[in-house]
C-alpha cells in the first residue's frame, strides 16, 4: 500500500532524473555565453586598445625599423642595417659624453632623493604640534613643475646675486658658479631635484603610518633605542615603497630632458657639454640635424639600457623587499 502511495506523489524528481540527459549543457554553448558576457567589457576597453596600437605600439615598431634606416622624415628612408648603431658607438664622441652625463645624474640623484625622502618622512612621522602644516610645506615643491621652476632655480643659483650663494656666504663659503661652471652644473640639477622630495616623502609617510604600533611597543619592551627601531622595524616595513621608488626614479632619471633643454641656451648642453644628457643629444640629432634614423637608434639603445636595469632591479628586489602579507621569503 505504502509503495503505491509513494509512487503517486509526483515530486517531479524522477522527471528530473530522466531530463538530465536533455538538459546537459553543451560545452560550446557555455563558452559562447561567457563570450557574450565579456564582449561588453572588451568594447569598453576598445578605445584604449585602438589608441595603444595606433599611437604607441605602431610608432614604436616604426621607430625600431627606422633605426636601421637613414630616415629623415621628408626625403629618404633607405635601409642601412647596423650603420646607425656603429656610428653611435664608434664615431660619435658626444654620445659617450651624453651617456656619462646621464649615468652620473642617475647614480647620484636616485639614492640621494630616496634617502632624502625617507629622512623627511621620518621627521614628519613624529608626534609634534603643527605636523600637518609642516607636511603641506614639504609637499608644496613637488606640485610645482615646468619651466617656471627652472627659471626660478636659475635665479637662485646665480653666482653673485643668487640666494644659494648668498646663504653660503654667511658661513664664509665661496659658492661656485653653479650653472656656469662645468663641474657644478650637474650637482646644481641634483640639488634642484632634491627640493622636490615631497612627492616621495608622501608615499613613505603613508606607509610608515600604517606600521602596527605593536611592533614598536614590542621593541620598547626589549629595550631598543630609536635608531635600532628605525633600522629594524621602520626600514624593513617600507622596503616595498623604496623598491617602487627606486625603480621608477631610475627609469625617470634616465629620461631627463626638460631641465637641460630649458636651462641651457638653445638646448646645446651647457658649459663644456656638461648638461648634454642622452635625451637632449637625441633630440638635437632628431630635430636640429633631422637625423631621425640615428635618433631612433639612440632611443632604442636607451630603451635597452633601462630594460636591463629594471630587470636587475626586479630580480634584486626579491632579496631585500619584505612584503608583510607574503611568505616573508
Partner 1 sequence: MKKMVGSLFLTVMIILATILTGCSGKDVSASSKGKVVVDFWTFWGSETRRPVIDKIVNDFNNSQDKIIVKHTFIPWGDIWTKNLAAVAAGNPADVVINDINSVSQRAENNQVEDLSAYIKANTFKEQFYTNLWDTVLYKGKPYAVPFTTDTRLLFYNKDAFKDAGLDPNKPPTTWKELEKVAQKLDKKQGEKYTRIGYYPLFGGFGAPSWLKNADDGMGFVEDGKLKIDTPKKVKALKWLVDWQNRYGDKTIQTYEAEFSNGQTNPFIAGKVALYTDVGTFYTQIRDSGTKMNFGVTTMPAFDEKSKPWSDGGGFVAEVPKGAKHPKEAMQFIKYLTGEKAQKYWAEKNYDNVANKKAAETVMQGLTGDAKVVYQEAVKSLQYTTLSPVPIHYPDYQNRINPFIDRAMKGKMSPDEALEKAEKDVEKMKQ
Residues in contact with partner 1 by the rule CB under 8 A:
36-37, 39-40, 43-44, 46-47, 50, 72-75, 91-94, 97, 154-155, 158-161, 177, 179-181, 265, 268, 271-273, 284-285, 287, 289-291
Evaluated on CA atoms 207, 210, 213, 219, the torsion sign reads: negative
- CB 300 → partner 1: shortest distance, Å? 20
Closer to partner 1 by CB, 12 or 47: give it: 47
Residue of 59, 58, 82 whose CA lies nearest to 70: 82
Q: Find the shortest distance in angstroms from Cβ 258 to partner 1.
A: 13
Q: Which is nearer to partner 1, 109 or 185 (CB)?
A: 185
DSSP 8-state code for residue 264: S
How many of the other CB atoms lie within 10 Å of CB of 63?
18
Give the C-alpha separation, 179 to 167, whole Å: 17
What is the smallest separation between the CB atom of 108 and partner 1, expressed in angstroms? Answer: 22
Answer yes or no: are the C-beta atoms of 297 and 282 closer than 8 Å: no
CA angle 29, 33, 34 (to 5 degrees): 120
At 23, list the grid cell: 538538459
Give me the residues paired with residue 69 across strands.
79
**From the CB of 260, what's the least distance to partner 1, in Å?**
14
Give least dist CB 120 to partner 1, A: 30
Nearer to partner 1, 153 or 254 (CB): 153
CB 124 within 8 A of CB 203: no
Nearer to partner 1, 11 or 74 (CB): 74
Cβ distance to partner 1 smaller for residue 182 or 317: 182
Amino acid at each position: 500500500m505504502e509503495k503505491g502511495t509513494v509512487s503517486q506523489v509526483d515530486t517531479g524528481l524522477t522527471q528530473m532524473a530522466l531530463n538530465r540527459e536533455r538538459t546537459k549543457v553543451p560545452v560550446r554553448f557555455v563558452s559562447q555565453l561567457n563570450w557574450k558576457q565579456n564582449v561588453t567589457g572588451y568594447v569598453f576597453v576598445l578605445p584604449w586598445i585602438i589608441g595603444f596600437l595606433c599611437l604607441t605600439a605602431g610608432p614604436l615598431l616604426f621607430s625600431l625599423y627606422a633605426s636601421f634606416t637613414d630616415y629623415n622624415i621628408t626625403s629618404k628612408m633607405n635601409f642601412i642595417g647596423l650603420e646607425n648603431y656603429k656610428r653611435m658607438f664608434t664615431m660619435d664622441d658626444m654620445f659617450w659624453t651624453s651617456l656619462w652625463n646621464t649615468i652620473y645624474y642617475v647614480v647620484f640623484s636616485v639614492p640621494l632623493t630616496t634617502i632624502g625622502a625617507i629622512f623627511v618622512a621620518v621627521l614628519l612621522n613624529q608626534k609634534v604640534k603643527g605636523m600637518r602644516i609642516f607636511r603641506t610645506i614639504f609637499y608644496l615643491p613637488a606640485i610645482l613643475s615646468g619651466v617656471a621652476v627652472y627659471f626660478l632655480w636659475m635665479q637662485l643659483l646665480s653666482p653673485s646675486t643668487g640666494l644659494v650663494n648668498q646663504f653660503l656666504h654667511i658661513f664664509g663659503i665661496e659658492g661656485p658658479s653653479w650653472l656656469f661652471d662645468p663641474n657644478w652644473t650637474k650637482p646644481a640639477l641634483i640639488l634642484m631635484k632634491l627640493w622636490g622630495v615631497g612627492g616621495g616623502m608622501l608615499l613613505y609617510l603613508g606607509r610608515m603610518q600604517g606600521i602596527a604600533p605593536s611592533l614598536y611597543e614590542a621593541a620598547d619592551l626589549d629595550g631598543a633605542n630609536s635608531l635600532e627601531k628605525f633600522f629594524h622595524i621602520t626600514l624593513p616595513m617600507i622596503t616595498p615603497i623604496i623598491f617602487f621608488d627606486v625603480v621608477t626614479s631610475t627609469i625617470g632619471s634616465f629620461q631627463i630632458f626638460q631641465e637641460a633643454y630649458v636651462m641651457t641656451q638653445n638646448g646645446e648642453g651647457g658649459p663644456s657639454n656638461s648638461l648634454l644628457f642622452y635625451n637632449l643629444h637625441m633630440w638635437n640629432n632628431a630635430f636640429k640635424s633631422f637625423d631621425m634614423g640615428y635618433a631612433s637608434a639612440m632611443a632604442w639603445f636607451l630603451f635597452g639600457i633601462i630594460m636591463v636595469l629594471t630587470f636587475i632591479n626586479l630580480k634584486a628586489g626579491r632579496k631585500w623587499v619584505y612584503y608583510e602579507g607574503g611568505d616573508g621569503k
